[in-house]
Amino acid sequence: MTHPTIRILLPAVLALAAAAATAQPAAVPDRGQLLYATHCIECHSTQVHWRDQRQARDWETLKQQVRRWQANASLGWDEADVVQVARYLNDTIYRYPQTSDRVGLAR
């Protein structure tokens, strides 16, 4: 004979276990996203990336613009940081074809 409490709690425990098993873990932001969120988003909302006068026209000019603005802000990023931020922006906004630029992938 089953204890009444077990009959009441067992379905709830099974439902919670099933929900936990199917839950997706929160996405971990990559370095480019973190650098952008920490240093750039204060002045550069997504609106600045969609404007008609944007300077980034392809993958190379996107990296040039990231390089330019990090220098203007005296951030001292190395090339790997520049590529990571450019890659983040490209993946989320621009979608330019990328070269075989492998810098910044090993972080």
pLDDT digits (tens, 9 = 90+) for 47-86: 566 556 678 999 999 999 999 999 999 999 999 999 999 9
The model scores a pTM over 0.75: no
What's the burial of 54, exposed, middle or buried (CB within 10 Å: 0-12/13-18/19+)? Answer: middle
Confidence of residue 28 (pLDDT cuts 50, 70, 90): confident
Look at residue 24 in the predicted model and tell me its pLDDT: 66
The label of the residue with tokens 């750039």 reads 40
The average pLDDT across 37-51 equals: 73
More confident residue, 88 or 46: 88
Question: Residue 107 pLDDT more than 50?
Answer: no
Residue predicted with more confidence, 31 or 10: 31
Whole-angstrom Cα distance, residue 29 to residue 92?
12
- The alpha-helical segments, DSSP class H, found in 23-58 are 31-39, 46-50
Least confident range from 23-27, 31-35, 59-63, 77-81: namely: 23-27
